[in-house]
Amino acid sequence: MVNLGHTWEFNNPDMGGLFSYSVESISETVTVPAGTFNYCLKIRLVITNASGDTTQTNSYYYAPGIGEVLNTLWIPGFEKDAEFKLIEYNLPQDSNVTLSIYNISGQQVAVLKNDIQTAGDYYVSWNADDLPSGLYFCNLRADGFAETRKMVLVR
């Protein structure tokens, strides 16, 4: 049985440092292109380097009887490194995908993807060299699914 707050760790310097997993929820509702899944298990992974700095945070969502239905990624440094931003998403099925960035005024400042993609994990870089500091929104649309996330660009 999995309990809320249950945490487990392992240290692997070759893979980036200390991996800390924790159970955050057992009742998440997740909507993805394949449908809506209730009572999903949410597991959070935090990776820290030898200095104790967080280098990556993931949230994994697992639907009962199905498995992983969503995986989100956050890499610290978005605020520090304006040249390279990594956006990760998972498609459980082939989908027509549009991934766009908008500024605080609602103006589209970048289209990172606009094509049909097969099911799988995707990592998309965003070059924000020519943009000022501020609040931006990343919008992912895939066959009826839409999600928008806030991002802060600090120079």
Place of tokens 């802060």: 152
**In Å, how far from its chain's centre is CA 98?**
16
List, for residues 1-27, the tens digit of each pLDDT value.
455 667 888 887 776 788 888 888 878
pLDDT in the model for residue 37: 81
Provide the residue type at 42 as one letter.
K
Of 16, 45, 18, 42, nearest to 28 by C-alpha is 42
Cα dihedral 10→13→17→19 (10° resolution): -20
Residue 131 per-residue DSSP state: S
pLDDT greater than 80 at residue 130: yes
Asked if residue 6 lies in contact with residue 18, where contact means CB atoms within 8 angstroms, the answer is no
Task: Output DSSP code: residue 83.
Answer: T
| pLDDT of amino acid 106 | 92
Amino acid 114: pLDDT: 96
The stretch 75-89 carries a mean pLDDT of: 55
pLDDT winner (highest mean) among 52-66, 89-103, 122-136: 89-103
3-class SS of residue 123: strand
Kindly indicate the confidence band of residue 153, based on its pLDDT and cuts at 50, 70 and 90. Answer: confident
* Pairwise CA distance, residues 42 & 5, whole Å: 11
Dist. CA 59–CA 25, nearest whole Å: 11
Mean pLDDT of the chain: 79
